[in-house]
Amino acid sequence: MKKILLILLVSIANFLFAGNDPYIKIKVAKDGSGDFSSIQKAINSVRDLGPAEAFIYIKSGTYNEKVVIPSSKHKITLEGENKDNTVITNNDFSGKKDAFNEKMTTFNSYTLLVMGDDIQISNLTIQNSSCNEGQAVALHVEGDRFIIKNSNILGCQDTVYCATNHSRQYFENCFIEGTTDFIFGQATAVFKNCILKSLADSYITAAATEKDRKYGFVFFGCKLIAKEGVTKVFLGRPWRPYAKTVFINTEMGSHIVPEGWNPWKGDKMFPDKEKTAYYAESGSKGNGGNTSKRTTWSHQLTKKDLKKYTLEKIFAGWNPHHEQ
Choice among 21, 181, 212, 267 that is catalytic: 181
φ, ψ of residue 321 in degrees (nearest 5): -70, -20
Per DSSP, 81 falls in state S
Residues 6+ apart with CB under 8 A from 82: 60, 123
Per DSSP, 248 falls in state E
Of 136, 118, 119, 129, the residue nearest 88 (C-alpha): 129
Euclidean distance between CA atoms 9 and 12, whole angstroms: 5
| Cβ–Cβ < 8 Å for 219, 272 | no
Residues 6+ apart with CB under 8 A from 117: 71, 74, 75, 143, 144, 145, 146
Is 158 annotated as catalytic? Answer: no
For residue 43, the surrounding DSSP H or E stretch is: helix 39-45
Q: Which residues are catalytic?
A: 181
